[in-house]
Structure 1
Amino acid sequence: MKLTGNTIFITGGGSGIGRGLAEALHALGNQVIISGRRLGSLTQTTDANPGMQSVQLDITNPKSIAAVAQQLITEHPALNVLINNAGVMHFDNVAGAVDEDLITSTITTNLMGPIRMTGALVEHLKQHETATIINVSSVLGFVPMATTAVYSSTKAAMHSYTQSLRFRLRDSSVTVRELAPPWVRTDLLNSSEEPRAMPLAEFISETMAILGTDSEEMIVERAQLLWSKIGDTSFTTQFNDTLEQPQ
């Protein structure tokens, strides 16, 4: 993927990985438009990066997605990159009663949101000579964390969806890529100070280097171990046992 001269839309771009990617791509001279529910975070990010633009979006609301997609197509006809990054992560207990609010929020945000957003913009992206869709999944889609089972399940689904989308767009001008982060120091699960998590700046730097290649799956070095364990149920048990041990 060329790293300059793009018009890029990033969902969940006001904080964490989304903001990190937005700022790195903005610094390279791309026109970056970020979105999110929290107007304050969007304003703070755009104020810190003159020229970056934002639009408020409720990724759980189909009407909001449709309206924002139309606004983007009208105001930014050069839009050629979509990064589906918005997501939520909560601890859960799937061995107990179902938390309806948790499963609805997580599945609607993490899975239905990106699918709807892609569907709203894909015909526009096809009209460009080159375009890219990047879906942000997680290594927990390959080796689930049992205490965030619903989140892990949505990321596994995103991996599957991305593969299907890539196949269906194989003869078009749209390239489909997947970014599967490891544990990164962000606000998810209050991990901004977590020593076991990868520093955000380090993650963004390594991701940008991979982004400039043709790799369909973008897996930073710290994520390679879990990526390699797809389908290894014994490793999944070991991984979760490790997480439950006192630190």
Structure 2
Amino acid sequence: MVAPTGTGKTTLLRIIAGLRKPDSGKVLLMGEEVRGPTPKISMIFQDFALFPWLTALENVEVALLHKRLSKDERTKLARRYLELVGLEAFENYYPRELSGGMKQRVAIARALAAQPVLLLMDEPFANLDAITAEGLKSEIYNMVFNEESTVKAIVMVSHNLEEVIELSDRVIILGGRPATVISDVSIDLPRPRSPRDKEFQDYLDLLYGEISKSMELAGIAKT
């Protein structure tokens, strides 16, 4: 999902996650109404949302508390997901001792450890440098799109149009207040995708045009 600031993208993600009730209508996940937080949906926040008093390993274990696992089983599974994001050597570190990229890796490990059906991502790379962000994109892609993954779909909010085209199959552009759908664009490109390809640039031009429409609806003057 792409939209100007203040359109309600994060609010919409929270509604999908069951963290906030909609004013009207309802959210359906595979035919079932989402009435509150559910293990079937995990969310990766822009600000990491780690518990500062817990270690990296313990933060991941939080996602497993709903499962009927022994303490040893929970620790073993949490450790496995930390290993997947390359943080096995930092399991006893607290968030204050980790870099931004490492904190986001812990958040990703926690989200995937819950083995959700739907993964929500609220600008997960916005606070990271370009090199770290690129590495994390590849890690998420490799972890989600494999035979063992339970994730069936990802809903992501982003302001970075190149990132959107690189990762998405479908782009929903919102505009106005309250938000409405301005455009629904399917990204029909093979993976891996490169910003240097002409087809990639064509989609970029298309999205910039649609974003201009959404800004006009939101009352934001073009510069």
Q: Which structure has the larger Rg over C-alpha atoms?
A: 2
Greater helix share, 1 or 2? Answer: 1
What TM-score, normalized by structure 1, do the two folds share? 0.34
Higher RCO, Cα 8 Å, sep 6+: 2
What TM-score, normalized by structure 2, do the two folds share? 0.36
